[in-house]
Amino acid sequence: MAQIHSLFWLRHLRAEPNQFLLHYVDGEIVRRGAGLNYWFSSYSAAIAQLPVEDCETTFVLKERSADHQEISVQITLVYRVSDPERAAKRVNFSINIDSGAWIEPPIERLASIWSLRAQPAARSYLATVPVVTALREGAERIRDAVRTSLENDAELGAMGLSVVRVEVDRVAATSEVEKALQTPTRESIQEKADVAVFSRRALAVEKERAIKENELSTQIELARRGEELIRQQAENKRLEAESEAVAERLRSTALADGEAQRVEVWKAAPNKVVYGLALQELAKNITSIQHLNLTPDMLSTALTQYVGEK
């Protein structure tokens, strides 16, 4: 907005460098330029102020795809007023000479013009493709189509307007259609997630099974070795018992043979020798004799036998 100061019927105007002024008197342009600073009479002046910097506008187009689905296209467009005099003839950029504000909102008017001029190009493309294609690759195609259409639009040139840049921010279907289109993808992602979960669980179960099998194998091996140990111990005991039995039989046989030989010796020996041997054996086995009784019968028999043998 230009700055205007009053002094009686005179006005002083000061514009910024990005503000282009057209000063009319009786329908003729008497001053033009950006960043002007001057005095003028309020009785005869009519002033238009136009932006000379790049301007940006954003609008949304509602169209239908080839399969009759509603699609919203959000476009951001950067434009420039390339010919202020032509633009001032087609759009009202007049300012109030007391306040410096626009009498009408010309920027909103320009935004509406750009939206109307861009719509046919977007509509022509969307009408030829299904909604899936439009959502997948429509942004680039619509951008190129709209830019080409606006650059070649003679009406915009006649209005003193030119395109700087066109961007398609978003191409979207209705929420119901988007949900329907997203369902297979969500289900596929969920399926992959479920498969991953099941795989992790199966792997965990397999590891647990392997651990239990290993523990069981270890227990079986320990039991087998314990059984072998018990069997070996039993075999050792059996062999030891058999060895002891054989040794015992040999000792018994030796004792029996020795005893038999002794008996034979005693049978062949004289009685006095037998008595002597008996006394000798008795002496080996009796550690002490506290009392000894010899009867007359024993002595007489022994002496009679001894004398008779002699």
The sign of the dihedral angle between the CA atoms of 233, 235, 238, 244 is negative
Q: Could you tell me which of 108, 100, 94, 97 has the C-alpha nearest to residue 22?
A: 94
Q: What's the pLDDT tens digit per position in 188-219?
A: 787 888 888 888 888 888 888 889 888 888 88
Contact 270, 305 (CB under 8 A): no
List Cα–Cα distances, 113 to 2, 50, 91, 104, 110, in angstroms.
25, 16, 10, 15, 5
Residue 241, pLDDT above cutoff 80: yes
Residue in 31, 36, 40 with CA at minimum distance from that of residue 5: 40
Is 90 or 293 the better-scoring residue by pLDDT? 90
**Candidates 1.10.150.170, 1.10.3720.10, 3.40.50.180, 3.30.479.30; CATH matching 3-173:** 3.30.479.30
What does the domain layout of the chain look like in residue ranges? 3-173, 176-269
Which amino acid, 90? R
Longest dimension (CA), the chain: 200
Q: Is the pLDDT at 231 greater than 60, yes or no?
A: yes
Distances (CA, A) of 280 to 24, 218, 256, 277, 294: 172, 69, 21, 5, 17
Average pLDDT, the chain: 86
Question: Residue type for 30, please?
Answer: V
Q: Could you report the per-residue pLDDT of 145-201, keeping only the tens digit for each?
A: 999 999 999 999 999 999 999 999 999 998 888 888 777 777 778 788 888 888 888
The CA–CA distances, whole Å, from 3 to 37, 40, 69, 118, 299 equal: 10, 13, 50, 35, 175
- Angle at the Cα of 13 from the Cα atoms of 10 and 18, rounded to 5 degrees: 165
Residue 280 has pLDDT above 80, yes or no: no
Q: Could you give the percent of the chain with pLDDT greater than 90?
A: 53
Give the torsion sign (CA, 35, 41, 42, 46): negative
Rounded to whole angstroms, how far apart are CA atoms 176 and 69? 11
Q: Which two tokens stand for residue 149?
A: 């259409």
Q: For residue range 67-121, what is the model confidence (pLDDT) as tens digits?
A: 999 999 999 999 999 999 999 999 999 999 999 999 999 999 999 999 999 999 9
pLDDT of residue 258 exceeding 90: no
Under the banding of pLDDT at 50, 70 and 90, the label for residue 40 is very high
Token duo for residue 11: 């006005």
Whether 307 shows a pLDDT value over 60: the answer reads no
Residue 251 has φ and ψ, to the nearest 5°, of -65, -45
- pTM for the complete prediction? 0.60
Cα separation, 281 vs 285, whole angstroms? 6
Does residue 1 carry a pLDDT above 90? no
